[in-house]
Amino acid sequence: MDCPRVTELLVDYLYHEMDPSLIEPFEAHIASCPQCTEQLKAFQATRAAVQSLPELEPPDQITQGLMAKAAQALRPKKTIWDHLGRSFRFVVMHPAMTATVTLLLVVGISFYAYRQSSPPQSAPRPTSFPEVVQQPTGSETQSAEELSANQEATLRLQEEDSTASIAARKNVKDVRQAPARAARVRAHQVEHKVPLAQPATEPPRPTAGLAPKSAVRSSLETDRDRFQAAPKPRLAARRRVRSIRRPRRPVAPNKYVEGEKSADVKRYLALGNAAAAKQLCHQALEYYDRVLELRPQLEKSLDHNIRRCIGVIARHGEAPLLKAQKQFPRLSGLVGRELARLRKPLRKRTKAKAKPHQRADEKVAPSDKSVGY
C-alpha cells in the first residue's frame, strides 16, 4: 500500500468504516511511514479537540410547543364509520325519541303516498246514458220509428225543462214549476220506455263562487313552493347570532406577540427581514382587532402588544400604518398616535427636548413613545 492510497483511506480508518481486509496493510504502512503516521495523529488530535466542544441544549419551550402541535396533528381523523357509530349510539341511548321519529316518518310517508295515489276529484263525468234500462223481452217487437218519436218527444221536454230550470234560477217564483216538469218528463219516459238520459247540455252545477278542487290544490301547491323558496329571515338571523356568540377560533390574547409568533418577529428582525416581521405584525393586529371586537374589555391588557406591533409596522413609513388604520377601526386610535408621532418633524421633536419651559400640549407624551422589539 502506498502513501496516496493511505491518504485516501485515512478517513475510513478514522471513522471505523474501513473494509476489514484493508486494515492490516493500512496499519503496516502507517507503522513504516512517518509522514502518514503524523497525518493520522494530527487528524485524531483534531477530532479530539472538536469533540471537547460543549454540547448545546435546545430551549424547553420548543419541545412544549412542538408537543402541543403534535397533539393536534396526530389526532385521528374521523371517518364516516365513526359518525355512523355515533348516530347508532344515539339511537340506542334514546329509544323513545327514535320510536317517535320513526312513527312520525312512517305516518307522514304513508299519508303522502295516499294523497298521491287518490284519483283527482275533477275527472269528467260520463254524459251519455250511464244507466241502462232493462228492456222487457217483448220490447224487441217495438218498431224503430216509435222509439225515435219517443226520444224526440223526450228531448223536447228536456229542453223545456232546462230552460225552465235556468229561468227558475233567475226567478225564484218559478222554482216550484221545475220539479213538476221533471216529474212529467219522468212519467213520459216510464210510459214510453225511453232510456233515462241526462240532458246533453247539462248546465254547470252551482258552486257558490268556489273554484274547482283541482284548481284549489294547484294554487295551494304553488303557494307552498313560493313559501319554501322564499328566504327565512328569522333562521338566518339566528345563525348570525350564533356565529357572533361562538367564534370559530378560541380567543387567546397575547398569542401572536407573546407566543411563538413573537419569537418569529424577533428572528426576522434579527435577520434583517423587516418585511416578514411587518407582515406578522399586521396579522397580529388583525387578530387583536378581532379580539377587541369580541372582548372589548381586553383593550388595556392588549395595549402593550398592539403598540409593539405598530412600532414594527411604523418602520416602513406611513403607508402601511395608514392601511392598518383603515383596516382596523378598533386600533385606529393607537395607530393614529403613532402616525402623528411620525409626522411630527424631527426638528420640533428635538426642540421639545431642548426647551424645558415649553407648553404642556407641545410636549411629546410618554405614551406616544413606540414600543418596539
Partner 1 sequence: MTFEQLPDEALFEACRQGELRAFEHLLQRHRQPLYNFVCWQIGSSVVADGLLHEVFLRVLEEVRSKKQRASFKTLLYVIARDLCLRESSQANNLGDRHQKGPTRRIQNAIEELAIEEREVFLLREYLDLSFAQIAEIVGCDRKTVKERMRNALERLRQEVV
Contacts (Cβ under 8 Å, ≥6 apart) of 337: 367, 368
Using a 10 angstrom Cβ sphere, with 0-12 exposed, 13-18 middle and 19 or more buried, the burial of residue 13 is middle
Is the CB of residue 151 less than 8 Å from the CB of residue 189?
no
In angstroms, give the least distance from the CB of 306 to partner 1.
Answer: 23
In angstroms, give the least distance from the CB of 11 to partner 1.
Answer: 5
265 closest CA partner among 278, 253, 254: 278
In angstroms, give the least distance from the CB of 259 to partner 1.
Answer: 12
**Which residues contact partner 1 (rule: CB under 8 A)?**
7-8, 10-12, 14-15, 17, 42-43, 45-47, 49-59, 62-63, 65-67, 69-71, 73-76, 260, 263-264, 266-267, 270-273
Q: Work out whether the CA dihedral 168, 169, 175, 180 comes out positive or negative.
A: positive
Q: 176: which 3 cell numbers?
A: 216550484
Closest to partner 1 by CB, 169 or 267: 267
Closest to partner 1 by CB, 15 or 227: 15
Closest to partner 1 by CB, 69 or 86: 69
Closest to partner 1 by CB, 66 or 91: 66
Closest to partner 1 by CB, 274 or 371: 274
In angstroms, give the least distance from the CB of 261 to partner 1.
Answer: 11
Closest to partner 1 by CB, 16 or 245: 16
Q: 190: which 3 cell numbers?
A: 216510464
Angle at 330 between CA 326 and CA 331, to 5 degrees: 70
Q: 89: which 3 cell numbers?
A: 349510539
Query: Rounded CA gap, 318 and 313, in Å?
Result: 9
CA-derived radius of gyration, the chain: 51
State the maximum Cα–Cα separation within the chain, in Å, rounded to a whole number. 154
In angstroms, give the least distance from the CB of 62 to partner 1.
Answer: 5
Query: Rounded CA gap, 227 and 231, in Å?
Result: 8
Is the CB of residue 284 less than 8 Å from the CB of residue 257?
yes
Closest to partner 1 by CB, 71 or 123: 71
In angstroms, give the least distance from the CB of 58 to partner 1.
Answer: 4
In angstroms, give the least distance from the CB of 52 to partner 1.
Answer: 8
Q: Which residue has the cell 234560477?
A: 169
Q: 194: which 3 cell numbers?
A: 225511453
